Amino acid sequence: MPSSGDLDIKERLKLTPRIDNMSSLGIPGWIAGYNGKPALITKSGALNRGDDYLEISINTFRFAFVTKKGVSHLMGTIPKMELHTAVTLEGRDDDELPEQTLLAVRMRGLDIVKMSKELRD
């Protein structure tokens, strides 16, 4: 993160989610076509830096309608997903290429609905 206050970096974050077991989950073809495709986070992202960590937050309410519809359709299957996700910083100039992964994670058994209920209670 730049110390000068120019935080356009958060608008260059590129999220690439991939569901490895998509066929066994019965996910419709209109969603399957987006599997593994990168998406720029743009204005829906936020960066928070601590002493020894960097937190990336994504406000899904700012997503386009089709993206929100796809995420909504997948909510019930997320706990069954084998999900790989990577974040890169979009390269805009030749000296920023090739893009490289900033972070990657593999998740299984992530139950967002259950976790949110536990936090609320």
Please write the tens of the pLDDT for every residue from 98-110.
998 989 999 999 9
Alpha-carbon span 87 to 73, nearest angstrom: 23
Average pLDDT over residues 73-89: 92
15: CB partners within 8 A, 6+ apart: 38, 39, 40, 41, 58, 85, 86, 87
Does 31 have pLDDT greater than 60?
yes
pLDDT of 7 reads: 57
- Please provide the average confidence, as pLDDT, over all residues in the chain: 85
Model-level pTM? 0.77
Pairing of strands 54-58, 82-89: unpaired
Confidence tier at 84 by pLDDT (50, 70, 90): very high
Does 121 have pLDDT greater than 80?
no
